[in-house]
Amino acid sequence: MNKRNIASILLSVILLIVYNDCARASLQKKVNQGNLYYRHGNYEKAMEKYRDAQIDSPESNSVHYNLGNSLYKMGKYEDAVKEFEKATYSKDISLQAKSYYNLGNCIYRQGKLPESILYYKKALELNSDDKDAKYNIEFVQKKIKEMMDKQKNQSGNSQQQQQSQQKEKKEDKNKQAGQEKDQKEQKDENAGKEKKKGDMSEEDAKRILNAMEENEKEAQKKKNKAIQQQQGISVQEDW
């Protein structure tokens, strides 16, 4: 190998080192800027800086972790989950543990309580001293129990309410039937009274018939007398 080839190789190595140093410096600068915005609560600006940093180092687990934190603070839990999942592939055990813990937080915020416990337990396996993970496991388990008890009570109350409504309907039906029976009895009683009021005794019937016969005889006598007078026949009165 001649001196010219050696010089060319050395130059390439130096340029590569300089490039890597520049790339690391650019990456670190963007991460530092993102961290500054994050500490001041400007999570959207922090997210932008972390995304810029990903251009320099797409596979950086720490950048995925920081980006996940910003997204979580912005309430974008689904996007945050994707970043934290990528961060769990880090060789840094501490970063893995924190990523699993934050995954648990994201899943909890999405209402998936049983699943969140699995992530907290994974974080605890990697870091047995994580008091926050222990607390969250107990908290979520208690929350699940309260929800189950509440659901059970609501189911019991609903059943009691249904039974009460059925009882009320039955009572109303019986009451209505009783009212209809009373009305029928009253109607029958009134009809009986009207019938009794219109009834006539046998004695009254005979008296009326006799009176009608007498009236009819008297009318016939007057008719016969009038005919005899017209014919010139003398009529003797019966006294």
pLDDT of 57 over the 80 cut: yes
Cα–Cα dist 8/236, whole Å: 182
Cα–Cα dist 133/103, whole Å: 11
Cα–Cα dist 113/148, whole Å: 12
The SS3 assignment for 91 reads: coil
Distance of CA 185 to CAs 13, 178, 191, 192, Å? Answer: 116, 11, 10, 10
Q: Give the chain's mean pLDDT.
A: 81
Residue type present at position 127:
N
Q: Which residues contact 19 (CB under 8 A, 6 or more apart)?
A: none
Q: Are 10 and 22 in contact (CB under 8 A)?
A: no
CATH of domain 3-147: 1.25.40.10
Query: What angle (nearest 5°) sits at the alpha carbon of residue 165, between those of residues 164 and 167?
Result: 65
152-180 confidence digits (pLDDT tens): 888 777 777 777 788 788 877 777 777 77
Which of 128-142, 161-175, 197-211 shows the lowest mean pLDDT across its residues? Answer: 197-211
**b/e per residue 64-91 (b: at least 16 CB within 10 A):** bbbbbbbbbbeebbebbbebbebbbebe
pLDDT of 232 over the 60 cut: no
* Residue 51: CB atoms within 10 Å: 14
Domain range annotation of the chain: 3-147
Which tokens sit at 91?
A: 């060789």
User: Terminal CA-to-CA distance of the chain, rounded, Å?
Assistant: 187
Q: Which of the four pLDDT bands, split at 50, 70 and 90, describes residue 17?
A: very low
Q: Is the dihedral of CA 142, 144, 147, 153 positive or negative?
A: negative
- What pLDDT sits at residue 185? 72
Residue among 41, 81, 35, 40 at smallest CA distance from 50: 35
Cα–Cα dist 156/108, whole Å: 28
Q: Does the predicted model carry a pTM greater than 0.95?
A: no
Distance of CA 194 to CAs 62, 191, 197, 201, Å? Answer: 103, 5, 5, 15
- What pLDDT sits at residue 36? 97
136-149 confidence digits (pLDDT tens): 999 999 999 999 99
